[in-house]
A and B are shown apart, each in its own frame.
Chain A
Amino acid sequence: MGSKALLLRYLDRFGIIIVVLLMIAVLTYLEPQYFLTFRNFSNILKQIAENAMLSLGMLLVILTAGIDLSVGSVLALAMMCLVMADIVGGWPWWIVVFIGPLVGIAAGLFNGFGLTLLRLPHPFIMTLGTLFAMRGLTNLISGGVPYSGLSDPVRFLGSAQIPLSFLGPGATLPVSAIVVAIAYIGISLFLRRAAVGRHIYAVGGNPNAARVSGINVDRVLLLVYALCGFFAGMGGLLTAGRTNSGFPLAGQGAELDAIAAVIIGGASFFGGRGTVLGVLGGVFIMGLLRNGLNLQNVSPFWQQLLIGFIIILAVWIDVLRRRAAVRT
């Protein structure tokens, strides 16, 4: 392998970190007093936690050349279920905290069975269906109204902060960031080391090859959609904790943010390509952009416009990179 090819491979893997560092440098230059403070970084970490959860699940699904449009609705459903159980039902917290993830897994399995048993032609359709259905269910069980005032243990993962006062005033580590870190490290190891993790890449690369290699493709798909639902449910738990409430409109459009982060992170929409590190980079790029533009008092409308162009730019860079790789 020539040095150019080696360089390309490294850029492929770690280029996104360079982009994130560049963004931090630019934002520090634009906002020298505030941006590079621990308080602001604690804020950013808190803000990105939900998108980080949804994006991680979305990565797994996109790796198999699938898509899950329902994650925002599943987040809302999981959130509403656990909030109702806590506030209306008065259930003990150690049951309530499992409700979010379990509802997520159930919704994910529902998606997975729709794809594998009903043989719906594309996950877009099945998950578009559940996007509506789960939102409807959320509104039905909540009566369309928000609830607030959760018990403290239920809020812990989403809102607790570990003080790091030795780093400066207001410096804290949100517990949600630890949850994100554990999830990302876990899934990264799972994708790289576990046989099933490799099978996810194989199913995305060539489902036919996976099938004749004795891989149970349907089982891999079920697992992937269940995990995606699980992370949506975790997102619901974190959001409920952070906002101290459950509202039926939660997570509207969140699936698009998640897809954007995965694509900006360099994953291929056609499956088989993408890394956990890339998705983390994508999540940070979107989070830093929002944070930086907020600090600059740029209107959210401009933020939308910019994120749109960044998605297009990210995919274009991917196209250029692929073309360069073919030439070497």
Chain B
Amino acid sequence: MENAGTGREAPLLEARNITKYFGAITALDGVNFHLSRGEVLGVVGDNGAGKSTLMKILSGLYVPSEGQIVFDGRPVRFSSPRDARNAGIEMVYQDLALAGNMTIFENIYLGREPGQKFLGLSVVDQKRSREMAQEHLDRLKIHVKSVDQLVEELSGGQQQAVAIARATAFDARVVIMDEPTAALAIKEVGKVLDLISGLKDHGVSIILISHRMDDVFYVCDRVMALFHGRNFADAPLKDTNRNEVIGWIMGTKGHSEAVAHDQVR
């Protein structure tokens, strides 16, 4: 199933024939993956289908057993999340990975604080850090009372926004998001999805893992499904529909609407 819309230009991020073993278990079996510039790709699949494993390989947390990753036309090999980050691939974790006891601006620059060396110690320039954080949040149209607020005082949606701001603070080219709306109140889901659309307008490519069809059909350009660790289906959003995608998650193609509803509800 070739992607009609973005098939002509070379993809920004491509994974070829990725296989990953955990002991005797084959988590991924010859998976191919591609992501174009400025594309929002939805990745769906049941629990254990291999979505998270694939994302962890792309973000440098796991090294694939076999296969190749090509980023911006060059083969790359990530041995840690730091490598992937330096290349411009950021991940927003499902548990957000924020330090609640610290302020918004500190979380955004955690581990990459602006500052200078003083007696061999790197000293944080907090004034600049605050200003940079405020500018960055403004650019993303994220509104907070103050960048000095502690992250634990924020709502789930605001925390998600901070996590996304952190992922994009250093010119990320690909942002991987793992279930960004799963833990949110309904009224906050829309805000986060709009934030994702906004990132796309800034030219960031996004991989969105989600169980929520509403999310996928609201922001994605294309959707790919994994099933039992293999590529199962892949289509531009305009060529498919919710029920078909739900069928893919369950490993069926050409199913009837009734089957989908019976099994999902």
B123:A209 contact, CB within 8 angstroms: no
Q: Quick one: which of B93-148 are within 8 Å of A by CB?
A: 93, 95-102, 106-107, 110-113, 115, 121-124, 126, 145-146
- B228 adjacent to chain A (CB < 8 Å): no
B122:A209 contact, CB within 8 angstroms: no
Given contacts A209-B110, A214-B81, A214-B85, contact A198 B121 (CB under 8 A): no
Q: Quick one: which of A88-129 are within 8 Å of B by CB?
A: none
- Contact segment of A143-151, A167-175, A188-196: A188-196
Q: Quick one: which of A168-214 are within 8 Å of B by CB?
A: 190, 193-196, 198-199, 201-202, 204-206, 208-210, 212-214
Tell me the nearest residue of chain A to B112, going by C-beta.
A214
Q: Which residues of B contact A236 (CB under 8 A)?
A: none
B97:A212 contact, CB within 8 angstroms: yes
Given contacts A1-B146, A194-B123, contact A214 B111 (CB under 8 A): yes
B82:A195 contact, CB within 8 angstroms: no
Given contacts A193-B123, A215-B110, contact A205 B97 (CB under 8 A): no
Q: Quick one: which of B134-165 are within 8 Å of A by CB?
A: 145-146
What's the nearest-Cβ distance from chain B to residue A249, in Å?
A: 38
What's the nearest-Cβ distance from chain B to residue A208, in Å?
A: 6
Most buried by A among B96, B115, B124: B124
B124:A201 contact, CB within 8 angstroms: no
A210:B110 contact, CB within 8 angstroms: yes
What's the nearest-Cβ distance from chain A to residue B103, in Å?
A: 10
Pick from A201, A205, A206, A210: contact of B111, CB below 8 A.
Answer: A210
Pick from B96, B102, B112: contact of A201, CB below 8 A.
Answer: B102
Pick from A194, A206, A209, A213: contact of B124, CB below 8 A.
Answer: A194
What's the nearest-Cβ distance from chain B to residue A202, in Å?
A: 5
B97:A204 contact, CB within 8 angstroms: no
Please encode chain A, from 58 to 75, with 1 for each CB lying within 8 Å of some chain B CB and 0 for all others.
000000000000000000
Pick from A196, A201, A208, A210: contact of B121, CB below 8 A.
Answer: A196
**How distant is the Cα of A212 from the Cα of B7 in the complex, in angstroms?**
33
A198:B113 contact, CB within 8 angstroms: yes
A213:B101 contact, CB within 8 angstroms: no
A215:B97 contact, CB within 8 angstroms: no
Q: Which residues of A contact B115 (CB under 8 A)?
A: 195
A-B contact count (CB 8 A): 74
A195:B97 contact, CB within 8 angstroms: no
Pick from A190, A195, A205: contact of B99, CB below 8 A.
Answer: A205
**How distant is the Cα of A196 from the Cα of B117 in the complex, in angstroms?**
12
What's the nearest-Cβ distance from chain A to residue B158, in Å?
A: 15
What's the nearest-Cβ distance from chain A to residue B87, in Å?
A: 13
B113:A206 contact, CB within 8 angstroms: no
A205:B122 contact, CB within 8 angstroms: no
Pick from B81, B101, B124: contact of A212, CB below 8 A.
Answer: B81
What's the nearest-Cβ distance from chain A to residue B168, in Å?
A: 14
Q: Quick one: which of B12-60 are within 8 Å of A by CB?
A: none
Q: Which residues of B contact A201 (CB under 8 A)?
A: 99, 101-102
- A272 adjacent to chain B (CB < 8 Å): yes
Q: Which residues of A contact B112 (CB under 8 A)?
A: 213-214
- A39 adjacent to chain B (CB < 8 Å): no
Tell me the nearest residue of chain B to A209, going by C-beta.
B97
B100:A206 contact, CB within 8 angstroms: yes
Q: Which residues of A contact B145 (CB under 8 A)?
A: 1
Please encode chain A, from 36 to 73, with 1 for each CB lying within 8 Å of some chain B CB and 0 for all others.
00000000000000000000000000000000000000
Given contacts A210-B110, A214-B82, A214-B111, contact A198 B102 (CB under 8 A): yes
Q: Which residues of A contact B82 (CB under 8 A)?
A: 214
**How distant is the Cα of A206 from the Cα of B145 in the complex, in angstroms?**
23
Pick from B91, B99, B123, B126: contact of A202, CB below 8 A.
Answer: B99
**How distant is the Cα of A195 from the Cα of B98 in the complex, in angstroms?**
17
**How distant is the Cα of A213 from the Cα of B115 in the complex, in angstroms?**
17
Please encode chain A, from 1 to 18, with 1 for each CB lying within 8 Å of some chain B CB and 0 for all others.
100000000000000000
A206:B123 contact, CB within 8 angstroms: no
Pick from B85, B96, B124: contact of A195, CB below 8 A.
Answer: B124
Please encode chain B, from 205 to 225, with 1 for each CB lying within 8 Å of some chain A CB and 0 for all others.
000000000000000000000
**How distant is the Cα of A64 from the Cα of B122 in the complex, in angstroms?**
20
B100:A198 contact, CB within 8 angstroms: no
What's the nearest-Cβ distance from chain A to residue B155, in Å?
A: 13
A208:B95 contact, CB within 8 angstroms: yes
Tell me the nearest residue of chain A to B110, going by C-beta.
A213
Q: 5 A–B contact pairs at CB < 8 A?
A: A1-B146, A195-B121, A205-B101, A209-B97, A272-B100
Given A199-B110, A205-B99, A206-B100, 6 new contacts (CB under 8 A): A195-B124, A198-B106, A202-B102, A209-B107, A212-B81, A213-B111
Hey, which bits of chain A sit against chain B, CB under 8 A? 1, 190, 193-196, 198-199, 201-202, 204-206, 208-210, 212-215, 272-273
Closest 8 CB pairs of A and B: A213-B111, A205-B99, A272-B101, A205-B101, A214-B111, A209-B97, A195-B122, A213-B110
